[in-house]
């Protein structure tokens, strides 16, 4: 019998239960050790990273910026959460036998060719737009989807609906598919 971590596809109920345990554990641990609950999410870490970088250039400006003060500008557990997402995904894909390195995914090649620069530019632009939208929405899909939905927050339900519709529309336009 193969251990679930080595399977190429996980049982969605098991994966959901593990994500739920992680979310509850993060709230319990952060409340105990930091004195206030911290919820799972990713987009705030990018703001914090930008603040760390910018503080090397103009620390006074960063200290006077309300957004940076609110998000924080130090290396914290949420940034390590992002590192964990990357490393966990890498380990999982290698262990499950699905890892492959490709500069340009085959679905992109089918529509736009194998130009790596074009793909990188589109990925950067898409990431920038997504991050900007996540900050406007008060959080990203992981923050709203995991933490907000677990708290039954109406704003998170609306945000997740918008994220899903935006993704469907974007994929339809980018890959020229019709329903």
Chain segment 14-48, per-residue pLDDT in tens: 888 988 898 898 889 888 888 888 888 888 888 88
| pLDDT greater than 60 at residue 154 | yes
Give 86-131 pLDDT, tens digit per residue. 998 898 888 888 898 888 988 889 888 999 999 999 999 988 888 8
Q: With a threshold of 0.75, does the pTM exceed it?
A: no
Domain boundaries, the chain: 1-101, 103-179
Reply yes or no on whether the pLDDT at 179 is more than 70: no
Mean pLDDT for 73-97 is: 86
**Separation CA 7–CA 96 (nearest Å):** 5
Would the pLDDT of 146 be above 90? no
For residue 60, what pLDDT is reported? Answer: 92
Averaged pLDDT of the chain: 86
Res 165: pLDDT: 92
Return all residues near 160 (Cβ < 8 A) that are at least 6 apart.
141, 144, 145, 148, 149
């Amino acid at each position: 019998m193969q251990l679930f971590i080595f399977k190429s596809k996980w049982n969605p109920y098991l994966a959901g239960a593990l994500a739920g345990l992680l979310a509850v554990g993060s709230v319990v641990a952060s409340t105990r050790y930091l004195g206030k609950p911290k919820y799972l999410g990713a987009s705030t870490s990018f703001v914090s990273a930008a603040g760390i970088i910018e503080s090397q250039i103009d620390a006074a400006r960063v200290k006077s910026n309300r957004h940076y003060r609110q998000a924080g500008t130090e290396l914290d557990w949420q940034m390590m959460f992002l590192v964990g997402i990357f490393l966990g995904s890498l380990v999982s894909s290698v262990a499950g036998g699905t890892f492959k390195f490709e500069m340009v995914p085959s679905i992109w090649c089918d529509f736009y060719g194998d130009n790596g620069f074009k793909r990188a530019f589109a990925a950067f632009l898409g990431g920038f737009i997504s991050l900007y939208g996540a900050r406007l929405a008060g959080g990203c899909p992981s923050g709203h989807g995991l933490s907000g939905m677990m708290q039954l927050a109406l704003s998170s339900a609306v945000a997740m609906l918008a994220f899903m519709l935006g993704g469907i529309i974007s994929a339809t336009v980018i890959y020229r598919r019709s329903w």
